[in-house]
Structure 1
Amino acid sequence: MLPYPFEEPFDYAVPAGMELGVGDYVRVPLGPRETVGVVWDNRETTDSRIDSKRLKSVAGRFDAPPMPAATRRFVEWVASYTVAPTGAVLRMALSSTGGLEPPRAAVAFRIGTVPDDFKRTAARNRVLSIAQDGLARSAAEFADLAGCGLAVVRGLADTGALQAVSVPPRMPAADIDGNFPGPALAPDQQQAADALVGHVGKGFSVTLLDGVTGSGKTEVYFEMVAAALRAGKQALVLLPEIALSAQFLQRFERRFGTRPALWHSDVGSTQRRLVFRGVAEGQTKVVVGARSALFLPFPDLGAIIVDEEHESAFKQEDGVIYHARDMAIVRASIEQVPIALVSATPSLESIVNVEIGRFAKLDLPSRHAGAQKPAIELVDLRKDPPPRNRFLSKSVIEAISETLARGEQAMLFLNRRGYAPLTLCRTCGHRLKCPNCTAWLVEHRFHRILLCHHCGHTERQPEHCENCGTADSFAAVGPGIERIAEEAGALWPDARTILLASDTVGSGIGQGPAALDEAIRKVQAHEIDLVIGTQIVAKGHHFPMLTLVGVVDADLGLAGGDLRASERTYQLLHQVAGRAGRAERPGRVLVQTWMPEHRVMQALVSDRRDAFLRVEAEERQMAKMPPYARLAALIVSGPDQSEVDVVARELAKAAPRNEHVQVLGPAPAPLALLRGRHRRRLLFKARKDVHVQPLLRLWLDQVDIPNSVRVQVDVDPYSFL
């Protein structure tokens, strides 16, 4: 099987003297180049009309553990479920082919022979004192322990006082000890932990760990990880976003004495190679990662945890479209291991699976260490509107001023990046839009650019309106967090403020995971008074001195007619409210809304989550929508609009039709132009008991699709853009 969009494996001849087994990673010729493949099976599948002598030969075998049978089966299952080519799914399991090569030895240093004319300094003496135990350490380890620069260590090596030695690379997370003593748990935590631990080694099971924000869910499922380690197994923890990894790693290190292996898109290639190899060899015991970590070749998996299981970030929308939470359950089933789904605001899908007995459920209804839930208040913007061209109400301004005066921290939350979502000409009303997408350009004033958040197109704000020619006529419409930061700077000029978004992480700190880690550290250390952020600060973070959260625009996610708009909005607002008052100081949350009567707002203020979900469930059931029905979307796209329309119409003509199935469309997608490609959507709707994949494959087989047009299949769609 090759990591390209092919449905079936290719046949190759095995050269004399080469021993190959199922699962082996190999190099094979493909056209004019060589590529990596996996021996999928060893059956004689070659067409009898083809002379076996014409088969190309396998070029070489990698010296690596073979891909486990469970991983191969998982790849095939995902391909079948998502209606994707098996090779396209395999590509996700071969995302670090460098890990197939044996890792190179590392250079370390140990005590050598100190020359007679050796010039001693305080730093050199500290390094030599540490080296007296005879252990080999890297230059960085010596420098860290001795509190000196790398040049000091290298200088000692040049004199012979330290001797360079070659050592095997240390595999990430190879020395995690399941018996490392953990913290004392509260009675309800201990009860939940015991239940999770009891599932380890007992085959497949799914448990929903449902706990309020601040209830200590992480410490509970750490006990499940520890149990897997004690059983000699590996563990996988999936997080929806890289932004959650900073504090998580600190908590993991406190619990286990060392850090897990990290796996996400921002991990460097060297570390990715080591993690891939360490997992494949069974040396790397715990991996914490984004959804792609699900495809690592674990040979001895013992437990899977999906934290923040409700998060839409677990849904991959490009390439092979899949939901990592759902596929994690499948992998757990194939591996015959337990899986825990963790959330303070579980998805309706998981709640329904609990109700029908498919999942077990554990509850943590109270905050840890006696902390109280924050008081949530609605600010009716119809009665307490902000001043003109401002976005913070009098109530929020007064509350933040009082909080800062007490020496406590406050947070302003708005899930919108940039300065303003729309820029238009005051004279003629012309709006600046992306040339590649059906989207407005977002002003990012701090970077002095206009940016499309869908394709990444950037440009400078023009001096003249291209429509009417008026100079300096553009105005920002609506707020982004940069505009809120500008307003906050005018209101509280002495407050130490930080801006936290995926593309903006505080002045002078930079961008990326390391910058975010430093920003979170500064907030925890109370070097910051006022946090202004998007959803990356809404969950997972523990700020003991943060007692006030102000939500700038609570209604933002309710527009657009999305199937899950109310559910998602409730989850996000509940999570961000949970940042307030997590220690001994009580918390307060002010939610600015134009619709205080909306059931999302009423559920928040009354803390009646279950009643809210019941109403959501009833509406979905009446509308015959998920989780009480099946949906699949076909997204037809291409550079030529007329060609896309022709294919979309042909698909509509060939659509399956019976009493249990309904096909809607084609219709222009809300983002009708995305990255230069015109897009049309068809929606397949079926009864819950209908097996949709065979119908989808038969449907697609009936239409001749030209190479210039792409048809993507999205089974169980979460986004309808």
Structure 2
Amino acid sequence: MLPMSIGEAYDYEVPDHLGVTMGQFVKVPFGPREVTGVVWGEAVNSKVAANRIKAVQECLPVSPLPAESREFVDWVSHYTMQRPGRVLRMCMNVPEALYPKAPRTGYRRTGAAVDKMTPARRRVLEVLEGRVARTTAEISDIAGVSSSVIKGLADKGVLEPVSLPAEETIPVPDAEHPGFDLSDAQQNAADIFRARVQADDFSALLLEGVTGSGKTEVYFEAIAECLRQGRQALVLLPEIALSSQWLSRFEARFGVKPVEWHSDLGQGNRRRNWRAVIEGEAKVVVGARSALFLPFASLGLVVVDEEHEASFKQDEGVPYNARDMAVVRARIGKFPVILASATPSLETLTNAEMGRYQHIRLASRFGVAVLPAVELVDLKEHRPGAQRWISEPLRLAVEETLKSGQQAMLFLNRRGYAPLTLCDTCGHRLQCPHCSAWLVEHRMLRKLQCHHCGFSSPLPKECPECQDEDSFKACGPGIERLAEEAELLFPDANIAMIASDTLSGPKAAAEFVEAMTEGQINLLIGTQIVAKGYHFPALTLVGVVDADLGLAGGDLRASERTYQLLSQVAGRAGRAEHPGKVILQSYIPEHPVMEALVQQDAAAFFNSERQSRESAAMPPFGRLAALVLSSPDPESVFSFAKNLSRIAPHGDQFLIMGPAPAPLSMIRGRHRYRFLVKTAKNVQIQKLIGQWLKGIKVPSNVRMQIDIDPYNFM
């Protein structure tokens, strides 16, 4: 199998001297170039003429891709209707890791005397006390000397060169390291998890616990048991690059940090970590969704934390939901998978109710902490005023919180200064030239930006429509504008603004956590990035500025996502001994989402949502797939969409809707049309789509993306 978007598997001859095994990474010729692939199986009755079959050139010096990984690639390929080579590419996306790194050269003391001692030389010898060996870079860094000092000592025979391992050893987490004190409920859950790991068989478990109930500490005990069994464990987090608190808690429990896998890793660390995974040296990996495709030598547990998060769904490339694929990976490997959340998805809750998943609940917060009180502010009655967004009840609550020495948070899930900029003279709206989306003003950066393609430009001096100068006006608030208002209302507050574009990586996240923990910030203004797992003991007030924001747009999961997000945000308040309070500002306080949040009745909300979905035969009670067609040429994509529509099948158990322009009809200069395929639960949707598209030739300037179980309807 080659990690390419064309073809299935290719036939090659294996020279006798190579001794190829299944899963072996090999170098093979492909046209005029050499490519790296994986031995997938033995060809029986090859259709390629013997004189055209080329030979495998080289076996690469790395462990084979495990059989479980190969089976997983095949399964994901079939389910998502993507070429297996595209899925394989996600397993081997660090090409340099396929070759061992050259050994490092270090130095150690020989015992020879130094003819002339200097302070710099003395520091070098102290660093190498006890005949320890270190690299030149390490010695220079610790001793604070230049490499010439080290070279001079080596030339005089005081130091001798030695060969060191190519890379630093991956630290092994200690399962017996002193753990956290668990409550009775936590201990019962941990006992169940340990038993499931010991059973050495597939099981799916839903760990549902209110925010602050200690779900992380509970599944840590499952990881500890997995380590005792000599297996590897994987934890998937929705925002791993920003989860500094989680990493600190892991280190407190196991004595060392886990191996990380996410997009912010440097190439050197990616190479080391990938190789450590396939060699079995990485015992615990914490990562983003892509970590699921790492080639684990002996995986024995997968945990999906915040399993409800939409960020586990990949829309680009191979569309897949890491939560669902984690269950598949566990079934293939015959080990447990734990799905953890305070607000589980309706799909997961339904699986638990049907007995497919074991449902474990933590109904109260850990220790003395209690759930915060939730209040609604009806914005029809408490209007903030022109160009203002903080109502009087929320303003008074923030003032009271700050006076008491506690921390407050204002939540608005919208980046930038304003979501829309228009001409006050003629009404012209500034739109992205490459997308059917408005440009968002980022005043701190002094530019307009498209949040879909990344296009940016300065705010024009004059309107391109009416040529009036200085006529553009910001409409609506983003967090930058909210921070501007907060500075006016709370001049003495220490304000910090946190969003995905202001928190640039793990280091920035750690600095933010430290500032909050030490009280350097007492008024936090943030987007959804601050709703995911942070624990700030002094944060006692959360004000949601626009609780209605996620309810618009007609998305299938709009109400569910809004409920989950606001529940998670509310859960940041009152997580220690100080009671918390949440204020939701809303124009529709009678909405079921708002009522459920105030009454803290998740069951009532999800029962209502379940009935709505079931009556419409929508997931999880029916199936959906999306076909998105795109092209730089609007005529080509429209014509192809019409042709597909003409040959679309009809039946009682399914409905094909479209083609229609996608809600975002242009992204990155590509015009988009969409079909939605809706079927009954028992229909094989992949088979239906495959029969529909059989023999269809997609024009060269048109791209067709099939998304099974879509989450993004834009």
Match of 1:445 in 2: 443
Give the alignment partner of residue 389 of structure 2, picking from 362, 380, 391.
391
Deviation at 1:112, TM superposition (A): 5.0
CA distance change for structure 1 residues 165 and 581 in 2, over 3 Å: closer, same or farther? Answer: farther
Over the matched positions of the two proteins, sequence identity in percent amounts to 52
Q: Do the aligned residues in 2 keep the contact of 1:171 with 1:275 (CA within 8 Å)? A: no
Match of 1:254 in 2: 252
Match of 1:176 in 2: 173
CA distance change for structure 1 residues 343 and 143 in 2, over 3 Å: closer, same or farther? Answer: farther
Q: Do the aligned residues in 2 keep the contact of 1:213 with 1:575 (CA within 8 Å)? A: yes
1:178-201 CA deviation, whole Å, 9 max, x = no partner?
222212211111110110111014
Q: Do the aligned residues in 1 keep the contact of 2:630 with 2:704 (CA within 8 Å)? A: yes
Match of 1:542 in 2: 535
Question: d(CA) in 2 for partners of 1:526 and 1:157?
Answer: 48
Moved more, 610-619 or 133-142: 133-142
Question: d(CA) in 2 for partners of 1:68 and 1:428?
Answer: 63
Deviation at 1:174, TM superposition (A): 4.1
Match of 1:47 in 2: 47
Q: Do the aligned residues in 2 keep the contact of 1:384 with 1:394 (CA within 8 Å)? A: yes
Deviation at 1:159, TM superposition (A): 3.3
Give the alignment partner of residue 435 of structure 1, picking from 428, 433, 436.
433
Q: Do the aligned residues in 2 keep the contact of 1:549 with 1:588 (CA within 8 Å)? A: yes
Q: Which runs of 5+ in 2 are unaligned?
A: none
SS at match of 1:200: helix
Match of 2:584 in 1: 591
Letter in 2 for 1:40: W
Q: Do the aligned residues in 2 keep the contact of 1:209 with 1:343 (CA within 8 Å)? A: yes
Give the alignment partner of residue 606 of structure 1, picking from 586, 599, 607.
599
Match of 1:533 in 2: 526
CA distance change for structure 1 residues 120 and 320 in 2, over 3 Å: closer, same or farther? Answer: same
Moved more, 308-317 or 398-407: 398-407
Deviation at 1:250, TM superposition (A): 0.5
Q: Do the aligned residues in 2 keep the contact of 1:244 with 1:541 (CA within 8 Å)? A: no
Q: Which runs of 5+ in 1 are unaligned?
A: 506-510
Letter in 2 for 1:159: L
1:643-700 CA deviation, whole Å, 9 max, x = no partner?
1111111222222221111111111000000111111111111111111111111111
Give the alignment partner of residue 357 of structure 1, picking from 332, 355, 358.
355
Question: d(CA) in 2 for partners of 1:444 and 1:176?
Answer: 43
Letter in 2 for 1:305: V
SS at match of 2:662: strand
SS at match of 2:630: strand
Match of 1:25 in 2: 25
Question: d(CA) in 1 for partners of 2:159 and 2:338?
Answer: 49
Q: Do the aligned residues in 2 keep the contact of 1:28 with 1:60 (CA within 8 Å)? A: yes
Q: Does 1:193 align with 2:186?
A: no
Match of 1:151 in 2: 145
Letter in 2 for 1:120: P
TM-score of the aligned structures, taking structure 2 as reference length: 0.96
SS at match of 2:286: strand
1:439-476 CA deviation, whole Å, 9 max, x = no partner?
00000110011100000111111101000000000000
Letter in 1 for 2:163: S
Question: d(CA) in 2 for partners of 1:112 and 1:347?
Answer: 63
Give the alignment partner of residue 647 of structure 2, picking from 651, 654, 657.
654
Question: d(CA) in 1 for partners of 2:689 and 2:333?
Answer: 28
SS at match of 1:27: strand
Deviation at 1:45, TM superposition (A): 4.5
Match of 1:38 in 2: 38
Match of 1:120 in 2: 119
Moved more, 402-411 or 421-430: 402-411
Match of 1:204 in 2: 202
Question: d(CA) in 1 for partners of 2:457 and 2:169?
Answer: 42
Question: d(CA) in 2 for partners of 1:558 and 1:571?
Answer: 12
Q: Does 1:332 align with 2:330?
A: yes
Give the alignment partner of residue 224 of structure 1, picking from 219, 222, 229.
222
Question: d(CA) in 1 for partners of 2:555 and 2:612?
Answer: 13
Matches within 5 A, 1:466-485: 466-485=464-483
Question: d(CA) in 1 for partners of 2:347 and 2:148?
Answer: 57
Question: d(CA) in 2 for partners of 1:171 and 1:127?
Answer: 21
Question: d(CA) in 1 for partners of 2:528 and 2:367?
Answer: 26
Question: d(CA) in 1 for partners of 2:524 and 2:136?
Answer: 38
Match of 2:11 in 1: 11
Give the alignment partner of residue 371 of structure 1, picking from 362, 369, 374.
369
1:409-458 CA deviation, whole Å, 9 max, x = no partner?
11111111111000000000000000111100000110011100000111
Q: Does 1:636 align with 2:629?
A: yes
SS at match of 1:685: strand
Q: Does 1:313 align with 2:295?
A: no
Match of 1:697 in 2: 690
SS at match of 2:682: coil
SS at match of 1:585: coil
CA distance change for structure 1 residues 107 and 551 in 2, over 3 Å: closer, same or farther? Answer: farther
1:90-114 CA deviation, whole Å, 9 max, x = no partner?
1111111211111232354544556
Match of 1:134 in 2: 131
Match of 1:686 in 2: 679
SS at match of 2:131: coil
Q: Does 1:621 align with 2:614?
A: yes
Moved more, 39-48 or 19-28: 39-48
Q: Do the aligned residues in 2 keep the contact of 1:200 with 1:338 (CA within 8 Å)? A: yes
Q: Do the aligned residues in 1 keep the contact of 2:242 with 2:509 (CA within 8 Å)? A: no
Deviation at 1:718, TM superposition (A): 0.7
Moved more, 74-83 or 526-535: 526-535
SS at match of 1:151: coil
TM-score of the aligned structures, taking structure 1 as reference length: 0.95
Match of 1:380 in 2: 378
Deviation at 1:157, TM superposition (A): 6.1
Q: Does 1:500 align with 2:498?
A: yes
Q: Do the aligned residues in 1 keep the contact of 2:462 with 2:469 (CA within 8 Å)? A: yes
CA distance change for structure 1 residues 493 and 267 in 2, over 3 Å: closer, same or farther? Answer: same
Letter in 2 for 1:29: P
SS at match of 1:632: strand
CA distance change for structure 1 residues 467 and 171 in 2, over 3 Å: closer, same or farther? Answer: same
Letter in 2 for 1:700: L
Q: Do the aligned residues in 1 keep the contact of 2:435 with 2:667 (CA within 8 Å)? A: yes
Question: d(CA) in 1 for partners of 2:106 and 2:79?
Answer: 48
Question: d(CA) in 2 for partners of 1:138 and 1:197?
Answer: 42
Deviation at 1:21, TM superposition (A): 1.4
1:191-249 CA deviation, whole Å, 9 max, x = no partner?
10110111014200000000011111001000111111110000000011235421111
Q: Do the aligned residues in 1 keep the contact of 2:171 with 2:256 (CA within 8 Å)? A: no
Question: d(CA) in 1 for partners of 2:109 and 2:402?
Answer: 54
Q: Do the aligned residues in 1 keep the contact of 2:383 with 2:391 (CA within 8 Å)? A: yes
1:2-40 CA deviation, whole Å, 9 max, x = no partner?
111134111122235222111011112222222111111
Letter in 1 for 2:324: D
Match of 1:167 in 2: 164
Question: d(CA) in 2 for partners of 1:252 and 1:153?
Answer: 37
Question: d(CA) in 2 for partners of 1:320 and 1:96?
Answer: 17
Q: Do the aligned residues in 1 keep the contact of 2:422 with 2:475 (CA within 8 Å)? A: yes
CA distance change for structure 1 residues 387 and 111 in 2, over 3 Å: closer, same or farther? Answer: farther
Q: Do the aligned residues in 2 keep the contact of 1:110 with 1:135 (CA within 8 Å)? A: yes
Question: d(CA) in 2 for partners of 1:159 and 1:447?
Answer: 51
Deviation at 1:165, TM superposition (A): 3.5
Match of 1:709 in 2: 702
CA distance change for structure 1 residues 105 and 675 in 2, over 3 Å: closer, same or farther? Answer: same
Match of 1:508 in 2: none
Deviation at 1:162, TM superposition (A): 6.0
CA distance change for structure 1 residues 573 and 243 in 2, over 3 Å: closer, same or farther? Answer: farther
Letter in 2 for 1:136: A
SS at match of 2:664: strand
Deviation at 1:130, TM superposition (A): 5.4
Letter in 2 for 1:719: N
